[in-house]
Amino acid sequence: MSLPVSLSPDAASCVLYIKHMVCPRGIRVVRQELESLGLRVLDVRLGAATVADAGEQLDWARIREVLAAAGFALLENPQHVLAAQVKQLVDELLHRPVMLRHRDFIPALAQEVGLNVRQLHSLFAQLPGSESLLSYITRCRLAYAQKLLLTSTLDIGRIARQLGYGSLSHFSGQFRRFAQCSPSAYRQQQERRVSKS
């Protein structure tokens, strides 16, 4: 099993790739946990922490144990870290008040991550499973549409526009394939379900 670490050229530091570190609080907790092990932490950012020790000098079992107790996990593959960050950004972009049209979404995502569009597609193609970046974004967009249909009074056309769809028919067609019914039928079914409860 390979170590979940990226050694720097001078091997005096290494990067630990960490899963479930998705907010500033997580960054603080990871820093505290690593420092509690006596490690000199050089940097902590979403998904990764750099420590001032060579990888072979670290007590990997203890690091895994301490991070797991705090709700985190070491990742074996740096690509998985980047993919986790991309997935988090997809959710953030969908929930931003500024609407991104379909064709602008992937370029905006690539810019946020610091990759070009081709690299972003390539990253997703190398992950386990067969879901492309576009199908992942579409699935997230339609899951968010379901949430908006349940929790808002926005009309369906407004929801479609908010999610970046250029036409109501395109949104309705994708939603129908995703939820096995139209957006209006979905809203009605959920309202009936709630009123029966």
Find the CATH number of the domain harbouring 131: 1.10.10.60
114 and 131 in a common domain: yes
Tell me the three state secondary structure of residue 69.
helix
Q: What angle do CA 102, 103, 108 make, to 5 degrees?
A: 95
163 and 87 in a common domain: yes
Angstrom distance (rounded) from CA 32 to CA 91: 28
pLDDT at 9 (0 to 100): 34
Question: What residue numbers bound the domain in which 139 lies?
Answer: 80-188
Tell me the three state secondary structure of residue 179.
helix
- List the pLDDT tens digit at each of the 197 positions of the chain: 333 444 333 446 788 888 888 788 889 999 999 999 999 999 998 878 889 876 667 888 899 999 999 999 887 666 766 777 788 889 889 888 777 787 889 999 999 888 899 999 988 887 766 688 999 999 999 999 999 999 999 999 999 999 999 899 999 999 999 999 999 999 999 988 888 87
pLDDT at 99 (0 to 100): 75
89 and 52 in a common domain: no
pLDDT at 100 (0 to 100): 77
For residue 195, tell me if it sits in a domain: no
Residue with token string 């199908």: 135
pLDDT at 142 (0 to 100): 95
For residue 197, tell me if it sits in a domain: no
> Residue 18 burial by CB count (10 A; 0-12/13-18/19+): exposed, middle or buried?
buried
pLDDT at 169 (0 to 100): 96
88 and 152 in a common domain: yes
Q: What is the 3-state secondary structure (H, E, C) of 106-117?
A: HHHHHHHHCCCH
